[in-house]
């Protein structure tokens, strides 16, 4: 039976986190709330504000909790991480303050699993210390969700690898100290066996930003997800991450956990929508009574609470499955929360936006940005449709085709089978 119990000591820590995020971190979102500031570790806000907050998190023993103790984390299971991340999901700055900001958290995990001692010293340790940002460069303009269409190549040339090609949506590229890039190293085999990962330090000759792509609310030419070109970029042979041809095995280590953690944080964002929804309903009067007294408003609030509760339990169950059976055995559950995440978030934002009326769609509320964020979650780390197919395949493994011409629930067929077994039916 699934168990989502919280140890009393951890429950006390969560209360501290809840108050700390509300009082100390959420104000940063409205003061400095842009991706550029979050990922630009040279920005004065990091030295003057973020790092002192990070030190307080370290003092509470909550820094980079997703990592194992030897890497400075707590080695928490996924259920504990779910409870923690649903609080952090209420603020854009909170993951950075707690040392679990994507893509850095995922990059740290794969460096910890697959990096050599030299690679961990050069690239991983500054990341764990929260001193630098990193970039994960995988998606290609023509490839999208189909990696068999990837064209970026890496060719061995003596003691170096030469990388050539284009990548799309390379988040934090311009502010990263290093990039982890995926490139085809053997085009004569399946892309899943012929693709490798490389560590590319920032400033390496040949790195080019074609344009700085952003989200839909960013001005054209601005944003934190650039379209980049690798112009015969040379890196030492020792910058190969893991073995040659292991890129997709490494990627699954990173992406599976990332999808689940996105869902955990979305629980917090959806909870924030419910808070805004209820506050508005209890604050606004129309046609002589509070919105909260209107039946349609009550329907919105009821649906919001039910969907949040269902989604939260789905996320916790997926986390529990990972903890008890392993990530591979939880493939269906992880894909399931990935499918549910954008829809639950989208519906929560739309209800909240509608109840706020014109104010809800204005830039004086966070809802428009949240709405586009919900859409992005349906595309990031694999589009929803890909994960729906994964869920369906996993579910079908537990079922079988009908043994004959008729469905097993076909009443005449079942009645005839019963008659053959029980003679009493002949007398009825």
| 218, 190 Cβ separation under 8 angstroms | no
User: Residue 181: is its pLDDT beyond 60?
Assistant: yes
Burial of 106 (0-12, 13-18, 19+ CB in 10 A): buried
Q: For the chain, what percentages of helix, strand and coil (3-state, to nearest 5) are there? A: 55, 15, 30
Where does 249-396 sit in CATH, by number?
Answer: 1.20.140.10
Burial of 117 (0-12, 13-18, 19+ CB in 10 A): exposed
Distance between CA atoms of 95 and 265, rounded to whole angstroms? Answer: 9
pLDDT of residue 380: 86
> Can you give 158-191 as a three-state secondary structure string?
CCEEEEEEEECCCCCHHHEEEEEEEEECCCCCCC
Distance between CA atoms of 202 and 362, rounded to whole angstroms? Answer: 38
pLDDT of residue 424: 63
- 235, β-bridge pairs: 161
Distance between CA atoms of 39 and 227, rounded to whole angstroms? Answer: 17
Q: Which two tokens stand for residue 346?
A: 């989208």
- 228, β-bridge pairs: 167, 209
Between 36 and 262, the higher pLDDT residue: 262
Average pLDDT across the chain, whole number: 93
Mean pLDDT within 147-169: 96
Where does 134-241 sit in CATH, by number?
Answer: 2.40.110.10
CATH architecture of 8-115: Orthogonal Bundle (1.10)
| 80, 65 Cβ separation under 8 angstroms | yes
User: Residue 242: is its pLDDT beyond 70?
Assistant: yes
Asked if the bond preceding 103 is cis, omega within 30° of 0, the reply is yes
Distance between CA atoms of 249 and 325, rounded to whole angstroms? Answer: 19
- In tens, the pLDDT along 128-156 reads 888 999 999 999 998 878 889 999 999 99
Q: What one-character DSSP code corresponds to residue 142?
A: T
- 209, β-bridge pairs: 228
- DSSP H helices in 357-425: 358-361, 367-377, 384-396, 411-421
- In tens, the pLDDT along 47-57 reads 999 999 999 99
The number of helices, as runs of H, and strands, as runs of E, in the chain is 17, 10
| 177, 134 Cβ separation under 8 angstroms | yes
Q: Which two tokens stand for residue 194?
A: 């012929």
Domain ranges of the chain: 8-115, 134-241, 249-396
pLDDT of residue 427: 55
Mean pLDDT within 196-217: 93
Distance between CA atoms of 47 and 246, rounded to whole angstroms? Answer: 37
Backbone angles phi, psi at 364, to 5 degrees: -90, -5
């Amino acid at each position: 039976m699934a168990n989502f119990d919280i140890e009393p000591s951890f429950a006390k820590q969560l209360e501290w986190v809840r108050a700390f995020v509300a009082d100390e971190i959420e104000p940063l979102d409205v003061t400095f709330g842009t991706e550029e500031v979050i990922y630009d570790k040279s920005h004065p806000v990091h030295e003057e504000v973020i790092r002192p907050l990070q030190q307080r998190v370290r003092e509470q023993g909550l820094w980079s909790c997703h990592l194992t103790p030897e890497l400075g984390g707590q080695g928490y299971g996924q259920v504990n991480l779910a409870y923690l991340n649903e609080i952090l999901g209420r603020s854009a700055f909170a993951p950075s303050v707690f040392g679990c900001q994507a893509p850095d958290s995922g990059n740290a995990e794969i460096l910890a699993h697959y990096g050599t001692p030299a690679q961990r010293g050069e690239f991983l340790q500054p990341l764990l210390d929260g001193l630098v940002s990193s970039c994960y460069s995988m998606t290609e303009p023509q490839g999208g969700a189909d990696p068999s269409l990837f064209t970026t190549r890496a060719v061995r040339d003596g003691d170096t690898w030469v990388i050539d090609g284009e990548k799309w949506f390379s988040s934090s590229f311009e502010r990263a100290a290093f990039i982890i890039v995926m490139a085809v190293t053997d085009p004569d085999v399946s892309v899943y066996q012929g693709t490798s990962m490389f560590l590319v330090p920032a400033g390496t000759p040949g790195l080019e930003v074609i344009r700085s792509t952003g989200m839909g609310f960013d001005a054209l030419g601005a944003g934190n997800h650039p379209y980049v070109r690798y112009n015969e970029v040379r890196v030492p042979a020792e910058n190969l991450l893991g073995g040659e041809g292991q890129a997709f095995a490494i990627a699954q280590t990173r992406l599976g956990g990332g999808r689940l953690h996105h869902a955990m944080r979305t629980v917090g964002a959806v909870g924030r929508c419910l808070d805004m929804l209820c506050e508005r309903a209890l604050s606004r009067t129309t046609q002589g009574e509070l919105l909260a007294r209107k039946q349609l408003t009550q329907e919105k609030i009821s649906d919001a609470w039910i969907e949040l509760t269902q989604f939260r339990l789905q996320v916790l169950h997926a986390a529990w499955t990972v903890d008890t059976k392993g990530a591979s055995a939880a493939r269906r559950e992880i894909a399931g929360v990935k499918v549910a995440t954008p829809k639950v978030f989208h519906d929560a934002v739309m209800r909240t936006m509608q109840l706020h009326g014109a104010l809800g769609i204005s830039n004086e509320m966070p809802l428009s940005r949240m709405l586009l964020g919900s859409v992005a979650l349906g595309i990031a780390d694999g589009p929803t449709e890909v994960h729906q197919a994964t869920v369906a395949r996993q579910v079908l493994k537990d079922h079988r085709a009908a043994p004959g011409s008729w469905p097993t629930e076909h009443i005449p067929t079942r009645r005839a089978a019963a008659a053959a077994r029980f003679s009493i039916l002949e007398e009825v």
